[in-house]
Amino acid sequence: MIIPHVMISKATLEFLTKLSKNNNREWFEKNRALYENAKSDVEASVEKVLAGIKKFDKRVSDDITAKKSLFRIYRDVRFSSDKRPYKTNMGAYVSPGGKKIVSPGYYIHIEPGKAFLAGGMWMPPAPELAKIRQEIDYNLDEFKKILKAKSFKDCFGDLDQEDKLATAPKGYPKDHNGIEFLKLKSFVAVASLSDKEIMSKDFAKTAEKIFKAMKPLNDFLQRAVD
């Protein structure tokens, strides 16, 4: 067991790099100790980040822990053509209702060369998606103001545009002032981080700053789905 600290260790990134090259059960079992160390490392770092989130987001109660927020490293391959048994990243999702509740939150993604922090709501189910679109329709100026805030722009730039309809969703005119927002199927913002940044002793502080910039968007989305 490694000593908990406030940064992701080089050993954790090295384990994930090796796993990406040896993604099979035999190698994993032979190197389970490396995995357990990496898991403890990420859990300790997430716990520090979680403490920062709890300073400014009162929706996140004390009973939400890093252990409860971490995702399993095992992939669900039942319906996938990709049969690799393990994820090559480690991640955690912090939200008021836990990982399995439909609620906006904060996501931590640890992967060599591809680390990022994100937040919002990814692919909400149809009922929640309809509520979010309605909230944007009713409060478009407020939504735009959130996205134009300097702290949000500095950390994220804009909302992720990957999940989007080709045309206006049912019930909304094509010339709606907020049509590009209404086309979205996910409401997510992403801040990429370098390996150096996630290994820095300031990682928890960096995450707190980024996630604090995310909070107004999460508050808007939470209000929509409540």
What's residue 6's pLDDT? 57
φ/ψ of residue 111, rounded to 5: -155, 130
Q: Could you tell me which residues are beta bridge partners of residue 116?
A: 109, 192
Is a pLDDT exceeding 80 seen at residue 142?
yes
The residues, ordered by sequence, that sit 6+ positions from 144 with a Cβ below 8 Å of its Cβ are 178
Q: Comparing C-alpha atoms, which of 196, 190, 225, 195 is closest to residue 211?
A: 190
139 to 90, 104, 112, 177: CA distances (angstroms): 36, 18, 39, 11
The residue ranking higher by pLDDT, 42 or 5, is 42
- Could you state, in order of their start, the residue ranges of all structural domains in the chain? 10-225
Q: Domain 10-225 classified CATH 3.30.930? A: yes
CA dist 2 and 8 (Å) reads 12
Mean pLDDT across the chain: 93
Read off the pLDDT of each residue in 144-166 and give the average, rounded to a whole number.
96
Q: Given this model, what pLDDT does residue 79 score?
A: 83
**For the residues 201-217, what does the mean pLDDT come to?**
97
Kindly report, residue by residue over 13-67, the tens digit of the pLDDT.
999 999 999 999 999 999 999 999 999 999 999 999 999 999 999 999 989 999 9
User: What was the pLDDT predicted at 1?
Assistant: 38
Evaluate if residue 209 carries a pLDDT over 50.
yes
Residue 217 contacts residue 120 (beta carbons within 8 Å): yes
Find the mean pLDDT for residues 182-195. Answer: 97
d(CA 58, CA 81): 41
The whole-number pLDDT of residue 2 equals: 41
The mean per-residue pLDDT over the stretch 162-173 comes to: 94
Whether the pTM exceeds 0.85: the reply is yes
pLDDT tens readout for residues 90-135: 999 999 866 666 789 999 999 999 999 999 999 999 999 999 999 9
Residue 221: DSSP 8-state: H
- The SS3 of residue 17 is helix
CA gap 97, 68 in Å, rounded:
11
